Amino acid sequence: MRVSMEWLKQYLELPLSPEELAEVLTGGGIEVEGVECLNKGFTEVYIGEILDIQPHPDAQKLQVCRLNTGREELTIVTGASNVLIGDKVPVAVPGAVLPGGKEIQPVDMRGVKSYGMLCSDKELEIEAVGQERSKGGILILSPDAPVGQSLETYLGLQDSVLELELYPNRPDCLAMVNVAREAGTLLGKKPVLPEWGREEMPSWPEDVRQKVEIEDPELSWRYSALLVDDVVIQPSPVWMQNRLRAAGVRPINNIVDITNYCMLEMGQPLHAFDRDKLQGTVRVRKAKQGETMVSLDGIERKLEPDMLVIADDNGPQAIAGVMGGLESEVTGKTCRILFESAHFLGSSVRRTSRKLGLRSESSSRFEKGVNPYWTVPTLGRVAELLLELEAGVPMSFTEKVCALPPKVRIEIAVPTVNQVLGVEYTYQEIEKVFEALDFEYLKLSDCRYSVEIPSYRQDLKIEVDLIEEIARIIGYDKIPTTLPQGSQTQGCRTPEQVFRRKLRKILIKAGMNEVISYSFSNKELDDQWGSEGRNIPLLNPLREELGTMRTSLLPGLLEIASRNTARRNTDLLLFEIGNVYLPKELPLKEQPDEVSRIAGLAQGESKRHWLNSQVKFDFFYVKGILTQIAEECGMEFEYRRIEEGKYCSLLHPGRSASIYSKGEYLGILGEIYPQLDQKWDLQCPVLFELDFGALSRNANLAVIAKSYPRYPAIQRDLAVVVPEEVSAEDIKKKVMALGGEFLKEVELFDVYQGQPVPAGHKSLAFTMRYQSAERTLKDEEVNTFNSDILSGIQQEFGAKWRK
Give residue 206's pLDDT band: very low, low, confident or very high (50, 70, 90): low
The verdict on whether residue 465 carries a ligand-binding annotation is yes
Rounded distance between C-alpha atoms, residue 137 and residue 118, angstroms = 10
**CATH assignment of 212-401?**
3.50.40.10
Give residue 92's pLDDT band: very low, low, confident or very high (50, 70, 90): very high
**Helical packing angle, 238-246 and 254-266, nearest 10°:** 50
Per-residue pLDDT at 202 exceeds 70: no
Structure confidence at residue 665 (pLDDT): 93
The verdict on whether residue 468 carries a ligand-binding annotation is yes
- Residue 14 dihedral angles phi and psi, to the nearest 5°: -120, 100
Per-residue pLDDT at 58 exceeds 80: yes
H or E stretch at 797: helix 779-797
Structure pTM?
A: 0.66
* 227-271: pLDDT as tens digits: 999 999 999 998 999 999 999 898 999 999 999 999 999 999 999
Give residue 702's pLDDT band: very low, low, confident or very high (50, 70, 90): confident
The verdict on whether residue 469 carries a ligand-binding annotation is yes
Structure confidence at residue 586 (pLDDT): 85
**CATH assignment of 408-478?**
3.30.56.10
Q: Which architecture does CATH list for 495-698?
A: 2-Layer Sandwich (3.30)
Specify whether the CB–CB gap between 579 and 596 falls below 8 A: yes
Per-residue pLDDT at 200 exceeds 50: no
Give the 3-state DSSP-derived string for 634-682, with helices as H, strands as E and coil as C. CCCCEEECCCCCHHHHCEEEEEEEEEEECCEEEEEEEEECHHHHHHHCC
Mean pLDDT across 307-324:
93
**CATH assignment of 2-38+159-193?**
3.30.56.10
The verdict on whether residue 526 carries a ligand-binding annotation is no
Structure confidence at residue 197 (pLDDT): 45
Give residue 543's pLDDT band: very low, low, confident or very high (50, 70, 90): confident
Q: Percent of the chain beyond pLDDT 70?
A: 98
Structure confidence at residue 199 (pLDDT): 47
Same CATH topology for 2-38+159-193 and 408-478: the answer is: yes
The strand pair at 393-401 and 63-68 is best described as: unpaired
Burial annotation 422-444 (CB, 10 A radius, 16+ → b, else e): eeebeeebbebbbebbebebeee
Rounded to whole angstroms, what are the CA distances from 118 to 78, 98, 104, 145? 7, 12, 11, 16
Give the 3-state DSSP-derived string for 170-221, with helices as H, strands as E and coil as C. CHHHHCHHHHHHHHHHHHCCCCCCCHHHCCCCCCCCECCCCCEEECCCCCCC
DSSP-based helix, strand, coil % in the chain, nearest 5: 30, 30, 40
Question: Which of 95-109, 186-200, 302-316, 470-484 is least confident?
Answer: 186-200
Structure confidence at residue 208 (pLDDT): 52
Fold of 714-801: Alpha-Beta Plaits (3.30.70)
Question: How many CA atoms does the CB half-sphere of 122 hold within 13 Å?
Answer: 5
Per-residue pLDDT at 301 exceeds 80: yes
pLDDT, the chain, mean? 89
**Domain coordinates in residue numbering, the chain:** 2-38+159-193, 43-154, 212-401, 408-478, 495-698, 714-801
Per-residue pLDDT at 207 exceeds 90: no
Structure confidence at residue 198 (pLDDT): 46
- Residue 691 dihedral angles phi and psi, to the nearest 5°: -80, 115
| Residue 122, number of CB atoms within 10 A of its CB | 11
Per-residue pLDDT at 556 exceeds 90: yes
Specify whether the CB–CB gap between 149 and 46 falls below 8 A: yes
**Top CATH class, 43-154:** mainly beta
Question: Which of 473-487, 575-589, 608-622, 755-769 is least confident?
Answer: 473-487
* 644-692: pLDDT as tens digits: 888 888 898 888 999 999 889 999 999 998 777 677 788 889 999 999 9
